[in-house]
Each structure stands twice: as C-alpha cells, then as structure tokens.
Amino acid sequence: MKINNTIDDTIEGDVAVIAAESPPVNAFSAHVRQGLADCVGQAINDREVRALVVICLGRTYFAGAYITEFGKPPVPPLLQDLLGPIEDAAKPGIAGPPRWCDRRPHSCQYGARTPQKEGALWT
C-alpha cells in the first residue's frame, strides 16, 4: 500500500516490507521519515506481522540527512524517533541494503544482502 509518494508498505505472508524510493539518494527527508514512522508503527502493532524488512529502491540505501532541511528547525519525526521503535520492537527488524553495502545499517537487528553479494546475512 502506498503510504505517501516515497514510501510503500506491503505485507508478504507475515513480513512487512517497507520500501523507500526518494531519488537520487534516498535521503531522510521529513516526508520519508513520516512515511517510515507510519509503516513501522503499523507493522509493530499488527499481530499478524512477525518481522519488518526495510529496503530502498534505486541505487542507494538511506544516504543521510536531507540537505534542504539544514539550518532550519527540526521537522518531526526525527531520525531517533524512528530508530528507537525498530530497536525496541519484539519483532526483528531486517535491513535490505544494496549489494555494495558492507555493514549492517543502524537500528535493524539483522541485515540481508541481495544475491549479487552472495546472499550474506549480518547478525
């Protein structure tokens, strides 16, 4: 289900797959953060969902702050408002970064690489 123009949430079996697509670099704009917060909250509260997978479409995983927000008052939800619920959830959070990423992204308890990177799994 399309949450906003950057975030899509689908349930595949008992897994919530949260996909971000905010070209060119999937920066954490307020719009992206709000969509992620909505999806993560729904997935955590859904009794049928047993795990959350966060992926980015395009060429990069989340690349950092949104440059147009620099020097302005923070717009909620803040990044830490997203990370805490994922870290504290009783359900595993799984990051699905692009194949070139060599480390597990923050907050998710697990990370999975695409088959192009030999299907490695971080824990």
pLDDT tens, residue by residue, 53-89: 888 887 777 777 788 888 999 899 988 888 888 888 8
Which class in CATH covers the domain with range 7-122?
alpha beta
Q: Are strands 93-96 and 121-122 parallel, antiparallel or unpaired?
A: unpaired
Rounded CA separation 105/26 (Å) = 14
- Cα–Cα distance list, 76 to 31, 67, 80, 106 (Å): 10, 16, 10, 19
Q: Please give the angle made by the CA atoms of 45, 50 and 55, to the nearest 5 degrees.
A: 90
Is residue 120 scored above 90 in pLDDT? no
Residue ranges of the domains in the chain? 7-122
Residue 22 pLDDT > 50: yes
> What is the reported pLDDT for 53?
87
Residue 42 confidence (pLDDT): 94
As a whole number of angstroms, the distance between CA 7 and CA 36 comes to 7
Task: Tell me what pLDDT residue 111 has.
Answer: 54
pLDDT confidence of 34, banded at 50, 70, 90?
Answer: very high
